[in-house]
């Protein structure tokens, strides 16, 4: 499986971008179509704030206490739900191999959005796309760190802790308290679906065929999901949560940037019954 992640991603990208060739009558490299509106101050502030919070959060989850031998001895496989028990039936000798594969695949997937710049229609807005992508990553990473079902507030043991055949030193590592949810899968889904979202937004002529692109976008995080399961790093439900969070962030953050700042107004209101903040959003239903 040497170099498998890189070869796989190259083939996937070729298949996704070949969709454009089905619609040559719509493709115009000189088009002035700009689907996104980027407020540089707000977006930059979110990115910088996200990086600061991320640094704090990573140190937080990295300093959890080591798993004690007493906790290991009290483990009961019968307490694991049927759907998650699947993660307790793999060959532990393959754990390190799949751990390496997942890390290699992660390194490749993070660069997926950059391949959209092969499209001249998208490349003209390269700075906006990079800022939106950085913002999406910041939001995805901080959601993992600070959401109630993320690593800072959950201490679910990874499947490897349940394997008696694994060295006890590996089973008691503090990081093994971070099973819920899968950050690797969330990051993979975010980058993959972000790429699909950008491509589809710049090519509205795809119509219903855009769902083929989104279907292709699900493939990299699915491979990541399998690798993380085989690495004994997560249970299936951890994978599902990570996949959902990543996909939503990858789609919703760019979608938010489709809102024109000029069509949204904020203000204060006061009446005898209440005082507060008002927001008005004028939508273009014909877009």
pLDDT tens readout for residues 178-234: 998 899 999 999 999 999 999 999 999 988 999 999 999 999 999 999 999 999 999
pLDDT tens-digit profile of 244-264? 999 999 999 999 998 765 554
Grade residue 17 by pLDDT with cuts at 50, 70 and 90: very low
Average pLDDT over residues 94-112: 94
Q: What's the mean per-residue pLDDT of the chain?
A: 83
Which of 16 and 112 is assigned the larger pLDDT?
Answer: 112
User: What's the pLDDT at 273?
Assistant: 55
Give φ, ψ of 158 to 5 degrees: -70, 155
d(CA 243, CA 218): 9
Enter the pTM of the model.
0.80
pLDDT at 48: 93
- Cβ contact 88:176 at 8 Å: no
Residue 78 has pLDDT above 60, yes or no: yes
* Higher local confidence (pLDDT), 10 or 225: 225
Residue whose pair of structure tokens reads 């890390």 in the numeric block: 103
CA-based diameter of the chain, in Å? 70
Would you say residue 131 has pLDDT above 80? yes
77 within 8 A of 85, measured Cβ to Cβ: yes
Q: Is 287 helix (H, G, I), strand (E, B) or coil?
A: coil
CA end-to-end span of the chain? 46
pLDDT in tens, 42-51: 989 999 998 9
Is 131:43 a contact under the CB 8 Å cutoff? yes
Give residue 88's pLDDT: 94
Query: Residue 268 pLDDT > 50, yes or no?
Result: no
């Amino acid at each position: 499986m040497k170099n498998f992640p890189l070869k796989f991603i190259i083939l996937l990208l070729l298949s996704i971008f070949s969709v454009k060739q089905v619609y040559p009558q719509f493709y115009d490299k000189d088009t002035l179509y700009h689907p996104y509106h980027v407020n540089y101050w707000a977006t930059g502030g979110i990115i910088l704030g996200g990086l600061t919070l991320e640094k704090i959060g990573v140190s937080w989850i990295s300093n959890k206490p080591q798993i004690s031998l007493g906790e290991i001895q009290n483990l009961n496989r019968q307490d694991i739900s049927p759907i998650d028990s699947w993660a307790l039936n793999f060959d532990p000798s393959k754990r390190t191999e799949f751990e390496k594969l997942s890390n290699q695949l992660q390194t490749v997937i993070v660069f997926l959005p950059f391949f959209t710049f092969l499209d001249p229609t998208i490349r003209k807005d390269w700075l906006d796309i990079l800022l939106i992508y950085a913002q999406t990553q910041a939001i995805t990473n901080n959601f993992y760190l600070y959401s109630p079902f993320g690593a800072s507030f959950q201490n679910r043991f990874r499947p490897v802790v349940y394997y008696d055949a694994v060295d006890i030193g590996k089973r008691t590592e503090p990081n093994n308290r971070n099973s819920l949810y899968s950050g690797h899968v969330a990051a993979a889904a975010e980058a993959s679906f972000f790429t699909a979202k950008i491509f589809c937004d710049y090519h509205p002529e795809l119509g219903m065929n855009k769902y083929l692109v989104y279907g292709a976008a699900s493939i990299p995080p699915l491979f990541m999901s399998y690798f993380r399961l085989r690495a004994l790093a997560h249970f299936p439900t951890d994978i599902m949560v990570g996949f959902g969070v990543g996909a939503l962030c990858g789609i919703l953050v760019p979608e938010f940037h489709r809102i024109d700042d000029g069509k949204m107004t904020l203000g204060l209101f006061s009446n005898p019954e209440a005082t507060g903040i008002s927001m008005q959003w004028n939508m273009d239903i014909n877009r």
